[in-house]
Structure 1
């Protein structure tokens, strides 16, 4: 009987014959995400934490916090050691961010992780799920962390706006 890895490689080759797509790594990531979601729901049930409709303010707070934490994890220079086993530095991306390339691994799992950790859009669903789970399991701590991330995101936009206004005033 064929191994799962061999079958996934064959499917991946027929799916994208001219480009390597780490379908096995993607499948593992989807499984891990499912396990995270089930674990959060199970923890909420075990602890008796009620599920309730989040307020509009919580949705906005978590949205901005998700944006900031996703970019921090996927693009910030300071978090590059977390991505380094899966990515390779390519170039600066401006405003304290980096562009990185996914390392080509023998393992589709490592390649898939590289794509996940270097993409703020990809990480956002994980971050949002974690923050939403935190809102159910530890609402005060989660709101505190989300407020910090949101304040940082707003500060980033103000810093960029200030820089644009300063350059405009100087005639650059």
Structure 2
């Protein structure tokens, strides 16, 4: 009968071979991604356990709550992943490349393994959005009024940004037509 160490060794070897077959030698930190998924799932499990222990009711989100959460998630993910002011949070994981758009930076992820995976998470608004929306959902369970206020504020900021872009576009069209 094989020892547990032999079985673990074979499992590790099989995982490494599968990882190599998947990545074809490219720097794609599968192990770090597994770790990030583990942290996410562990966080969800901890939140669910605390909610159950404290007998928190799960909210029944109305359509307006979904709109607020979507706007807040969008705006907060852009702030975290692209804003110049939050660049010190990303600095250990990214390299500054320049300006990408209005009040947004272009950055390249740096490092390998966990550092690279965290960099990808912190520089990608789509990636951070999952974590942020989960945080907002937790806020709706544990502090619904404060979460709605914060979500409304961030959604108002997202709408303001949209209006700024619309205004600039209208000014460009007016300038182009000579009016």
Q: TM-score, normalised by structure 1?
A: 0.91
8 A Cα contact 2:59 2:140, kept in partner: no
8 A Cα contact 1:74 1:123, kept in partner: yes
More helix by share: 2
Q: How does 1:13-162 map to 2 (within 5 A)?
A: 13-105=20-112, 108-162=113-167
Cα RMSD over matched residues? 2.0
SS at match of 1:92: strand
CA distance in 1, matches of 2:139, 2:124: 22
| Match 1:163 to one of 164, 168, 173 | 168
8 A Cα contact 1:5 1:24, kept in partner: no
8 A Cα contact 1:12 1:20, kept in partner: no
Residues 68-120 of structure 1: CA deviation (Å, up to 9, x unaligned): 11111111111111011011112211110011111033xx1111111111111
Answer with 1 or 2: which has the greater Rg. Answer: 2
Structure 2 residue runs without a partner (length 5+): none
SS at match of 1:50: coil
Aligned residues between the structures: 170
Structure 1 residue runs without a partner (length 5+): none
SS at match of 1:81: helix
- The 1:4/1:66 distance shift into structure 2, 3 A limit, reads farther
- The 1:5/1:170 distance shift into structure 2, 3 A limit, reads farther
Q: TM-score, normalised by structure 2?
A: 0.87
